[in-house]
Amino acid sequence: MSTPDIMTLDEISRSPRRYTPSVILPEGPSQEELAQYWTLSARDQAEVMRCRTDATRRRFAVQLCTLRVYGRFLPEAVPAPVAIINYLARQLGLPLVLFG
């Protein structure tokens, strides 16, 4: 029985392959997907509203739902689709955005 190849951290950092995020959000989620995965409870909304700015509130709401759905956070460099951001913004009474 052979053992799988295991790369050290040094080998990974020198690897020419680009890192791909393990969380890929749907670009055009359906209304059913939005309702199922991106709806905030009253408790969620109260926690999100503790953030200081509207932009931070949107990002926190996205991360909260991403953690719930995928079991991990969305990497910082990955923008969330506008449809998801605006769905969350409507629930929070925040202004909508034109781009992520």
**Average pLDDT for 29-45:** 96
**87: in domain:** yes
**79: in domain:** yes
**84: in domain:** yes
**68: in domain:** yes
pLDDT at residue 89 is higher than 50: yes
Give the least confident one: 32-36, 39-43, 50-54, 73-77: 73-77
Range of the domain at 50: 28-92
Q: What is the structure's pLDDT at 54?
A: 96
b (16+ CB within 10 A) / e for 13-31: eeeeeeeeeeeebeeebee
| pLDDT bucket at 15, cuts 50 / 70 / 90 | low
| pLDDT bucket at 8, cuts 50 / 70 / 90 | low
Number of domains in the chain: 1
Average pLDDT, the chain: 84
**18: in domain:** no
**2: in domain:** no
**22: in domain:** no
**40: in domain:** yes
pLDDT at residue 26 is higher than 90: no
